[in-house]
Amino acid sequence: MKRRKKIYLYMTSVLLFVYIGLIMLLYFSEYTDSSATIRTFGDAFWYSLVTLTTVGYGDLTPVTPLGHGVGVVFLFLSAGMMMTLFGAVISFITSEGFPFLMLGFQRKKKWYYFADYGAEANTLAGNIYKEDPDAVIIYGEKRDEQMEFPDYPCLFISASPARIVACKKGVGSRCKVFLMKENDIGVNSRAIDLHKLPVEVYARTTNGQDHLSGNINFFHSYDCCARQYWRSRPLLSQENTIVLIGFGNYGRCILERAILTNIISVNQHVAYHIFG
């Protein structure tokens, strides 16, 4: 990548040198002629811009043989330059450059980075957007052409959390990173050195851990199930009995989450019957 950047920089420098040389050649060939309209370096530069962009105002034209020769070179260069510029713009829009440019204008908003796109990530991101329409949802992979685009604004960028953090430049709140696949933090390359970044990490796991380091937290599928259940089916005021059949990880989390969320009033009395 660095070598390619050096090549691009070298080619740009050569083209810029040739361009300035042609303008100076046009200027020196024209300014001494009494009938010339190109009298200054600014006139030569203006003529080059008008010719290269194929506008052709006709207010300035070379009159000397050498000036005509330079004009012909500019004419031949115009088509290639326009195609190059057009290709550069298309390449910028379709590459990662445009998404990163968009992120640069939204640094003060809350950023949510998902390592991969999937059903779980899509659901969580959709809920985040409903609660915070200004949220910036980022998926750390390129979008597959067959992938159905989410019904909320988001960006698909094949970039690591470290690169996203570098783009945020410490502006606003910390970026939140989600690893939605089970035990993904041990195998996903995007999880490397997350504990060193100024981010909040939430990783899905099945090993029973709740915490790893200062900024890395684990969550379980059964806890998510319990939260979603009581959120979609909250306890009504007239209900006073809850029966749980089976008491594995899901049953335990449903009970714990019920005790934390099913509080309506101080006079409420709820009986929990557990079979298992």
What digits encode the pLDDT tens for the residues 26-70? 888 888 888 888 888 888 888 888 877 777 777 788 888 888 888
Instruction: Report whether 41 contacts 23 (CB < 8 A).
Output: yes
Q: Which of the four pLDDT bands, split at 50, 70 and 90, describes residue 2?
A: very low
- For tokens 């811009």, the residue is 49
- For tokens 């303008």, the residue is 23
In the chain, which ranges are E strands? Answer: 111-114, 136-139, 155-156, 175-179, 199-204, 211-213, 216-219, 241-245, 271-275
Q: Which of the four pLDDT bands, split at 50, 70 and 90, describes residue 135?
A: very high
pLDDT of residue 164: 92
Q: Which residues contact 202 (CB under 8 A, 6 or more apart)?
A: 176, 177, 178, 179, 217, 218, 219
Enumerate domains of the chain plus CATH numbers: 2-94 (1.10.287.70), 98-219 (3.40.50), 230-275 (no CATH)
pTM of the model: 0.59
3-state helix/strand/coil string of 141-197: CCCCCCCCCCCCCCEECCCCHHHHHHHHCCCCCCEEEEECCCCHHHCCHHHCCHHHC
Amino acid at site 114 = F
Give the whole-angstrom CA distance, residue 270 versus residue 113. 39
pLDDT of residue 100: 83
Residue bearing the bigger pLDDT, 77 or 2: 77
Q: Which of the four pLDDT bands, split at 50, 70 and 90, describes residue 82?
A: low
What digits encode the pLDDT tens for the residues 183-236? 777 777 778 888 889 999 998 887 766 656 688 888 888 888 888 888 888 888
pLDDT of residue 70: 83
